[in-house]
Chain A
Amino acid sequence: MSQHLITVTVENKPGVLARIASMFARRDFNIHSLAVGPTEDPTRSRVTMVVDGPEMEQIVKQLYKLVHVIKVTEHLPGEAVEREIMLVRVNADPSRRSEILNAANIFEATAVDVGAATITFEVVGEPSRLSDFLEFMRTYGIISLVKSGRIALAKDNKSASRSRKRTA
């Protein structure tokens, strides 16, 4: 399934996220990940979404139909700085602990909690780094996992980003 990364700038109004979620549900579009937060302008919020499927044109148009949506930008691979945070708790039997910590070092993962038989790591970075780390840790056993959802900002190079101009 093809995934697309989009940034949606919205008016900072109550319920705007519910409107987006409701529209996706009604139109049978799928949200893979979603992160919302404030922006440089207190009247605006920015929603970063990874969405599934071949319906990109419709997704963008339907987003624009929401009155509180101001701008939708699709980022093609490499056009944006992308980050995600993950917290992952792995099995860490005392006998394998140093081996795990060494590996974590290579991925620049930080141990943020240590239990009797587990270690919890924080990994920040590009989505690919997170998935590489997870892949590696599978051999030890992943107990729990949480991700922040991806955030992105278009690179400061105007011609590199194919911004979908609003047509609505």
Chain B
Amino acid sequence: MADQLNGAAILIRSLEHEDVEVIFGVPGGAILQAYDELYSSPIRHVLARHEQGGGHMASGYAHATGRVGVTFATSGPGVTNLITPLADAYMDSIPIVAITAQVSSAKIGLDAFQETHTWGITMPVTKHNYLVTKIEEISSTVREAFHLASTGRPGPVLVDITKDALADEMEWHGPQEIDLPGYRPSVKGHPRQVKAAIEAIINSERPVLYAGGGVIRAGASNELRAFAKQQNLPVVTTLMARGAVPDSHPLTLGMPGMHGTYTASTAMQRSDLLIAIGARFDDRVTGDTEFFAPGAKIIHVDVDPAEISKIRKADIPIVGDAKAVLDQLLAQGAERLGGDAAPPRTEWLATLARWQRDFPLAYEQDPEGPIQQQYVIDQLSKRSGPDTIVVAGVGQHQMWTSQFWGFEKPNTWINSGGLGTMGYAVPAAIGAQAGMPERTVIAIDGDGCFQMTFQELITAAIEQIPVKIAVLNNANLGMVRQWQKLFYGERYSATEMSHTIPNIPMLAEAMGCAGLRAETPADVIPTIEKGLAINDRPVVMEFVCDPDAMVFPMIVAGGSNDEILMGPEDVK
């Protein structure tokens, strides 16, 4: 027996069929019908205070749970507010589905109230997008959107549905089969290439396993760790892959690139074989590609063939899902070794260990001086445990968190890597917490980033999503100020903010959160302990930090990765 349903009901039923448990969004005229149906659906709706917040919440949810995040927005300004989270999710390959409403099909093109060319303006920032003008297409399009978002190289998919399609009625027979003749992502790698890769690895004296965000997206961390162990391979984890192998593991060299560890960046420079898995040779990793890893052969494993040889020519390309290919590599590696141990690479590993000893990441906290951001991060990490989900904004605090948190597990680190979106942390943390209610979720934010999206804490307080936000308040757009200090003669153009305005704890209290402040190093631990103990509402812990602290190591943008600045004294 088929039900007579309107388009909005078909939409909501289709989302229920996809096992959607929560939608983050903001309603409006064009999408009213869908919200009316949502009212009686078991799907939870979290009312964001801005569509950007709703989009980043969906992204944080997807990061933390590995499931597809869903966001709703109305036509016109609802959609334009969603552009940043779509672009962000596109750069970082995060599976989200955005459902937006469009003016009635008869009004399209007439500059109707709140009409915008959604399909056109979101095309370059989505994996795929749809304009649905007929009720018959709603169900199959939703199915396709979830399939596209979550398979192959994941990414954001937008479905724009006209008001009339949502209002029309038809008999609905349940979800439909999908037909995507042009979409057949590879899963397994070519066996010949896998064989060639194993030969190259066994013959390599100075290999480096270069793990990117694709390893996290594919859920391949266990396989990566096993493969590193099997073949005795040191591992670097990019900003998007932190946690793919435990930072405490002896083969882990940390993050490479602009603010990476000396050992991770230099290991790649000296390597004779880079095994890139789910990584894309981003300029923040490679520096000037002309000087990048000059002696290395490249094995490049990626589910997206277009990433292979886009930046650096691959000697052994392998198109496939990171997890499936790692399984193949493990099997082939075991067969090839036939019970023998992997090459010991004694000299190489000793060199790396020496660099790690000689050039560690370090900071000093003067008990009388201003609070150092790294100290706060270090203490937060020590006191909250390895299952904590950590979220960051963009800037110095993000780099320090990546450097000093000490990640032990995958999917515990959420940040905006490719787009570098300030304001990401608060909403993404809320999304992560909504998806993982039993876990502790801490956002480490800069005062600049915080002021871009803090209003979502109102959402968190009302929706009882008890995230914890640590604002490292250096009264500055710190990362920009760092560049001004180092390269622009200390001319601090438009980077100064304030240690006192806004009053962050008061602001937090006004939004229904607990507000705490640490002003001296002695306050840091008590503030953290207090903040971690509050679980009945969101907590904002403000740390009044040193405006002059800088992130090192540093490789100058566009410079060679052979020239690593270890501290301010290295800047010419």
* Residue ranges of A at the interface with B (Cβ–Cβ < 8 Å): 10-11, 14-15, 18-19, 22, 26, 57-58, 61-62, 64-70, 166-168
Q: Which residue of B124, B128, B131, B185 contacts A168 across the interface (Cβ within 8 Å)?
A: B185
Q: Give the complex CA separation of A19 and B127 in angstroms.
A: 11
Contact B304 A11 (CB under 8 A): no
> Given contacts A22-B124, A64-B305, A67-B148, are A166 and B310 in contact (CB under 8 A)?
no
Report A44 CB to chain B, min CB distance, Å. Answer: 9
Contact A67 B185 (CB under 8 A): no
Whether B309 is near chain A, meaning CB under 8 Å from some CB there, is: yes
Q: Give the complex CA separation of A69 and B182 in angstroms.
A: 5
Contact B124 A11 (CB under 8 A): no
When distances are taken between beta carbons in the complex, the residues of chain B under 8 Å from A57 are: 309
Report A152 CB to chain B, min CB distance, Å. Answer: 20
Contact A26 B306 (CB under 8 A): no
Report B179 CB to chain A, min CB distance, Å. Answer: 9
Q: Name the residue among B119, B181, B319 with the largest chain A CB count within 10 angstroms.
A: B181
Q: Give the complex CA separation of A57 and B317 in angstroms.
A: 13
Known: A22-B123, A26-B124, A70-B181. 17 other contacts (CB 8 A): A10-B182, A14-B131, A18-B120, A57-B309, A58-B306, A64-B306, A65-B304, A66-B182, A67-B148, A67-B180, A67-B182, A167-B305, A168-B183, A168-B184, A168-B185, A168-B305, A168-B306
* Residue ranges of B at the interface with A (Cβ–Cβ < 8 Å): 119-120, 123-124, 127-128, 131, 148, 180-186, 304-306, 309-310, 319
When distances are taken between beta carbons in the complex, the residues of chain B under 8 Å from A15 are: 119, 131
> Given contacts A67-B148, A168-B186, are A61 and B123 in contact (CB under 8 A)?
no
When distances are taken between beta carbons in the complex, the residues of chain B under 8 Å from A62 are: 306
Closest chain A residue, CB of each to CB of B305: A167
When distances are taken between beta carbons in the complex, the residues of chain B under 8 Å from A11 are: 181-182
Closest chain B residue, CB of each to CB of A44: B181
Report A23 CB to chain B, min CB distance, Å. Answer: 8
Closest chain A residue, CB of each to CB of B144: A67
Q: Number of residue pairs across A and B with beta carbons under 8 Å? A: 45
Contact B305 A61 (CB under 8 A): yes
Q: Give the complex CA separation of A22 and B127 in angstroms.
A: 13
Closest chain A residue, CB of each to CB of B153: A65
Q: Give the complex CA separation of A65 and B307 in angstroms.
A: 11
Q: Give the complex CA separation of A70 and B184 in angstroms.
A: 10
Q: Give the complex CA separation of A65 and B127 in angstroms.
A: 9
When distances are taken between beta carbons in the complex, the residues of chain B under 8 Å from A67 are: 127-128, 148, 180, 182-183
Closest chain B residue, CB of each to CB of A66: B182
Q: Give the complex CA separation of A36 and B362 in angstroms.
A: 60
Q: Give the complex CA separation of A26 and B91 in angstroms.
A: 14
Contact A58 B310 (CB under 8 A): yes
When distances are taken between beta carbons in the complex, the residues of chain A under 8 Å from B185 are: 168
When distances are taken between beta carbons in the complex, the residues of chain B under 8 Å from A65 are: 304, 306
Closest chain A residue, CB of each to CB of B307: A61
Contact B123 A18 (CB under 8 A): yes
When distances are taken between beta carbons in the complex, the residues of chain A under 8 Å from B184 are: 166, 168
> Given contacts A10-B182, A67-B128, are A167 and B123 in contact (CB under 8 A)?
no
When distances are taken between beta carbons in the complex, the residues of chain B under 8 Å from A70 are: 181-182
When distances are taken between beta carbons in the complex, the residues of chain A under 8 Å from B182 are: 10-11, 64, 66-70
Report A59 CB to chain B, min CB distance, Å. Answer: 10
Q: Give the complex CA separation of A67 and B148 in angstroms.
A: 9
Q: Give the complex CA separation of A70 and B127 in angstroms.
A: 16
Closest chain A residue, CB of each to CB of B123: A22
12 of the cross-chain contacts (CB-CB < 8 Å) are: A11-B181, A18-B123, A65-B304, A65-B306, A66-B182, A67-B127, A70-B181, A167-B305, A168-B183, A168-B184, A168-B186, A168-B305
Q: Give the complex CA separation of A11 and B305 in angstroms.
A: 21
Closest chain A residue, CB of each to CB of B125: A26
When distances are taken between beta carbons in the complex, the residues of chain B under 8 Å from A58 are: 306, 310
Report B87 CB to chain A, min CB distance, Å. Answer: 12
When distances are taken between beta carbons in the complex, the residues of chain B under 8 Å from A166 are: 184
Q: Give the complex CA separation of A19 and B119 in angstroms.
A: 10
When distances are taken between beta carbons in the complex, the residues of chain B under 8 Å from A61 are: 305-306
Q: Give the complex CA separation of A129 and B305 in angstroms.
A: 38
Report A161 CB to chain B, min CB distance, Å. Answer: 20
Contact B123 A19 (CB under 8 A): yes
Report B157 CB to chain A, min CB distance, Å. Answer: 9
Q: Give the complex CA separation of A168 and B308 in angstroms.
A: 12
Closest chain A residue, CB of each to CB of B317: A167
When distances are taken between beta carbons in the complex, the residues of chain B under 8 Å from A26 are: 124
Q: Name the residue among B131, B310, B319 with the largest chain A CB count within 10 angstroms.
A: B310
Report A14 CB to chain B, min CB distance, Å. Answer: 8
Report A60 CB to chain B, min CB distance, Å. Answer: 9
Closest chain A residue, CB of each to CB of B180: A67
Q: Give the complex CA separation of A134 and B512 in angstroms.
A: 76
Q: Give the complex CA separation of A10 and B119 in angstroms.
A: 19
When distances are taken between beta carbons in the complex, the residues of chain A under 8 Å from B127 are: 67
When distances are taken between beta carbons in the complex, the residues of chain A under 8 Å from B148 are: 67
Q: Give the complex CA separation of A14 and B109 in angstroms.
A: 15
Q: Give the complex CA separation of A61 and B308 in angstroms.
A: 10
When distances are taken between beta carbons in the complex, the residues of chain A under 8 Å from B180 are: 67
Q: Give the complex CA separation of A62 and B185 in angstroms.
A: 13
Q: Which 4 A-B pairs rank lowest in CB-CB distance, beginning with the nearest?
A: A61-B306, A70-B182, A167-B305, A67-B128
Q: Give the complex CA separation of A18 and B119 in angstroms.
A: 10
Report B226 CB to chain A, min CB distance, Å. Answer: 27
Closest chain A residue, CB of each to CB of B120: A18
When distances are taken between beta carbons in the complex, the residues of chain B under 8 Å from A19 are: 123
Closest chain B residue, CB of each to CB of A22: B123
Closest chain A residue, CB of each to CB of B127: A67
Closest chain B residue, CB of each to CB of A23: B124
